[in-house]
Structure 1
């Protein structure tokens, strides 16, 4: 598993790195009403692709098993993925340090595809989600800032979380539209869950579409390690999700061979139709998009303190067989010199649990990203 270590000042010394201030300044010239939405988004995607290429070259962007440690950021990331017994691995992840050329911003996410084209849907969302998010965030930043002498100054009423939340919601809507009009990828019976996070300084923003989960490893008042689930597993059985599905004309059903597993189905002439989907939020899956399935993310925030040690992002291949507490225990048991193996250890443990707890069932794909907070500011502690 490759290890990618970045010296403290390397990113600052990269002459080819796109400068954040000039990047935003250039964006302000491209968001006038005369500039069409499609053109502006394409400009944002082109710029983001250039940033991503540079970040990958500098060892700051990871989409295959490995580690990222940009010491100037205070983060340490470990990521790993393993296919199950259902065929091609439809899971994926991304870790991007110095997101958008801004050193104090980190982006990462896990993606869990499903359906016959699920692996392609997941890859597509993993590719375009950062671009759309960065585009809308830059747009929002430019709109709530004042440009003076080539430098941006935030307005007095600037809302850091509000900007990210608005950007995530717009990005997810555009991602879904991107899939709908894609000329090659068929997303009618295929889709993906996506759990993504941003860390900017002490602010951590989480955007969840689907049933992947984020769990925080933190220190309780008595000094013991505690597991805190940060996100909701969006299943059709949740009361608020079920209500939306029925009000949209859909149906929530359980099959005899899957007791306890609720699925969304289109309801045509009062008869459930289609293969059904065990998620209430997902990208793609247009067969049930008019029947209660949405791609709107649940966006939440957490202010990190010195008590918060790490966060685990994982697809449901982990959480179907591993408790939050056990996952935190496994990751925390990785000594400082073994953090690069933390994600792999959790994946391998989950894979073993599938054989023990779900004997006779095909093991699911499993992906994990562990983000260690080496040096969060204690200003909010």
Structure 2
């Protein structure tokens, strides 16, 4: 289940890039967890001649980071290195893989890397019991291939709405039937009362049932693959682990991303804003997000920038008023200030993010007015009222 720290680790691992008509940004934060077990992949231009293809993925490790880290470096090569991917014996000799070939190659790649990692001595002898989810998008010039194994999630924002989402693999029907057929059980919505996903890479303690194939074990490494033709209305794709989705719905996150893209064109900063907001919304897990923007992604709007600046000024003035009203009682702590703001109707708060997305603005003015404050009520406080 994971242990927690006394205070969240808020340092971020970030990145960004562009190519193949795409822009991407990424950000990850350890948060309240004792260890950072997430990993990611961002590749513009794929080996074997697929220079105009791209691949992005998020891996949410559990019981350790071994499997997530290995997959982040090698999953793509297991996919594109398979004969199934190309539909021929020698990878890279075909002009372009077919849709069915790509889908078959993705499945084969997952099964192969899962079997390959099983032979690592620390995983084989039980010294390391780690596993990982994997959610990814493979982009060709004509297609989007969404790939999911576990409860991380990918969404496609097209024509100003969420038009596609992967489905989380949880230990409930129909997965419950497969788990029971393998001799296991589902208790407290977990495999054998312990593991919260029905599909994952690694987790070999759940993949040792005699007489059952790799996809018939208590936990399956087989991904679901969805192929969607690309179109001009595509705006962006979001990949994220459940540390993000635990506190934001598909629509909330996409609307928040859209609103931030209208304020700033720095995707790395947009991703940082997502992670910070989810921390302030109460996420206690590791958090990782990758945003991939298409040419039709929202652009910076002067009107949106102006409204956001006005909102920041309004919040600054309200914090000043709340502190001034305290008078002889002394400066209230930050949690008290936020509790006051949370019950107000504040116009133009970012959709999906709400007041939590403006925590840094509130903290900045509070710190300026109370430079000697202690750490009570600092960023990520579990007692946040919102």
Q: By the TM > 0.5 criterion, same fold?
A: yes
Aligned: 1:122 with 2:49: no
Counterpart selection for 1:318 from 224, 244, 263: 244
Residue in 1 that maps onto 2:15: 66
Larger Rg: 2
The ranges of structure 1 where at least 4 consecutive aligned residues each deviate by more than 6 angstroms after the TM superposition are 144-147
Residue in 1 that maps onto 2:361: none
CA contact (8 A) 1:112 1:122 kept: yes
Counterpart selection for 2:22 from 71, 75, 96: 75
Aligned: 1:190 with 2:130: yes
Q: Deviations over 1:272-330 (max 9, x none)?
A: xxx61000000111111235210000011111211110010000001111111111012
Report the CA distance shift for 1:103/1:138 in structure 2 as closer, same or farther (over 3 A): farther
Counterpart selection for 2:285 from 364, 369, 379: 364
Q: Secondary structure at the match of 2:281?
A: helix
CA contact (8 A) 1:121 1:187 kept: no
- How do 1:148-187 residues align onto structure 2 when only pairs under 5 Å count? 152=94, 160-185=98-123, 186=126
Residue in 2 that maps onto 1:233: 168
Q: Secondary structure at the match of 2:282?
A: helix
| Separation in structure 1 between the aligned mates of residue 186 and residue 253 of structure 2, nearest angstrom | 31
Counterpart selection for 2:78 from 132, 138, 142: 132
Measured after TM superposition, the shift of residue 331 of structure 1 is 1.2
Q: Secondary structure at the match of 1:344?
A: helix
Residue in 2 that maps onto 1:15: none
Q: What stretches of structure 1 of length at least 5 have no aligned partner?
A: 1-62, 220-224, 255-261, 266-274, 356-362, 377-381
Q: Deviations over 1:113-152 (max 9, x none)?
A: 001xx212210111220221121168625449996xxxx5
Residue in 2 that maps onto 1:279: 197
| Separation in structure 1 between the aligned mates of residue 31 and residue 92 of structure 2, nearest angstrom | 51
Aligned: 1:304 with 2:230: yes
Q: Secondary structure at the match of 1:249?
A: coil
Aligned: 1:102 with 2:42: no
| Separation in structure 2 between the aligned mates of residue 332 and residue 137 of structure 1, nearest angstrom | 39
Report the CA distance shift for 1:353/1:375 in structure 2 as closer, same or farther (over 3 A): closer
Q: Secondary structure at the match of 1:80?
A: strand
CA contact (8 A) 2:133 2:200 kept: yes
Q: Secondary structure at the match of 2:111?
A: helix
CA contact (8 A) 1:229 1:324 kept: no
Measured after TM superposition, the shift of residue 176 of structure 1 is 0.8
Residue in 2 that maps onto 1:203: 143
TM-score calculated relative to the size of structure 2: 0.66
TM-score calculated relative to the size of structure 1: 0.67
